[in-house]
Structure 1
Amino acid sequence: MCPAMGWQDCGQRFYCPFCGKLSEVPWQHYQPTNGVNGVRVDKEKRPELSTGSYEILNSQKGEAAALLLAIDVSVSALRGGHLEFVTQQIQMLLNSMKREDGDALDVRVGLMTYDSRIHLYDLSPELSRPHMLVITETEDLQLPVREGLLVPLKDCISSIDR
């Protein structure tokens, strides 16, 4: 989610300005909207609805877009079933990013999980399985620049599925 998305039909659907699609909100995550601007009543309690971020890339540079998937793996996310739901949604998203010929779009993908620490995954296709880098110092966060943290989707989709 990002702040640019709009809620419609009293919070039952949301509009994505990037892909232009109107999507249903699963009943487990439904909350009504308040006022003419269509603001959800739980906006302040759900940081993903107000502090999500996105970047519009300059397509003239010829660089592939990047998608960093950040997943909450805390105990509360596990107990509440949110982790299972999110992983299903991510699989659907990545599968929808395939072209009609079966090839994946030219997008670089990174995977990050977090609880009290941050876990970054090296998704390099040369590896038999993803390697995890754990960052325990989150006060003054400096993410490492390493090969394998952002990999073309076509090279890592099977690793992410596993």
Structure 2
Amino acid sequence: MPAVFFFLIDVSMNAVQTGATGGACSAISREGPRTMVGVATFDSSIHFYNLKHALQQPLMFIVPDVQDVYTPIQTDVIVQLSECRQHPDLLLESIPTMFQNNKTVD
């Protein structure tokens, strides 16, 4: 049975500036091919990602209410790396630059 991990990555201004966001992304990208992985990022809102292989790139879904969190999509939030490695890798590479100008400190 493959390991299943759902990672929450802090993308607040402090996390990005200290390198914590980049370090987390780098560590997650080393997971093995049998691992099932899901990724969400957060600052004052939560960002879920659709990692479906058929898409050209991962899609971001934003949940602004952190008091009543829900998953905006039912499938393709967690994928097996051996079946679609390119989307998680692309996402993990781009997260630090996507949020490099983030001014949210929450």
Tell me the TM-score normalised to structure 1 length.
0.51
Q: Rg: which structure is higher? A: 1
Give runs of aligned pairs for residues 51-62 of structure 1, distance below 5 A.
Answer: none
- CA shift, 1:145, in A, is 4.9
Which of 20, 27, 36 is the equivalent residue of 1:108?
36
Structure 1: 5+ residue runs without aligned partners? Answer: 1-58, 98-103
| C-alpha separation in 1, matches of 2:68 and 2:25 | 29
Q: Does 1:151 align with 2:89?
A: no
| Residue correspondences, number | 90
Report the equivalent of 1:134. Answer: 62
Structure showing greater relative contact order (alpha-carbon pairs closer than 8 Å, 6 or more residues apart) = 2
| C-alpha separation in 2, matches of 1:72 and 1:110 | 14
- CA shift, 1:151, in A, is 1.3
Contact 2:48-2:71 at 8 Å conserved across structures: no
| C-alpha separation in 2, matches of 1:150 and 1:141 | 17
Which of 1, 9, 12 is the equivalent residue of 1:74?
12
Q: Does 1:120 align with 2:58?
A: no
Aligned-residue CA RMSD in angstroms? 1.6
- CA shift, 1:132, in A, is 0.6
| C-alpha separation in 1, matches of 2:67 and 2:82 | 34
Give runs of aligned pairs for residues 25-40 of structure 1, distance below 5 A.
Answer: none
- CA shift, 1:86, in A, is 1.4
Report the equivalent of 2:26. Answer: 88
Distance 1:142 1:123, change over 3 A: same
Tell me the TM-score normalised to structure 2 length.
0.75
Identity %: 29
| C-alpha separation in 2, matches of 1:156 and 1:135 | 25
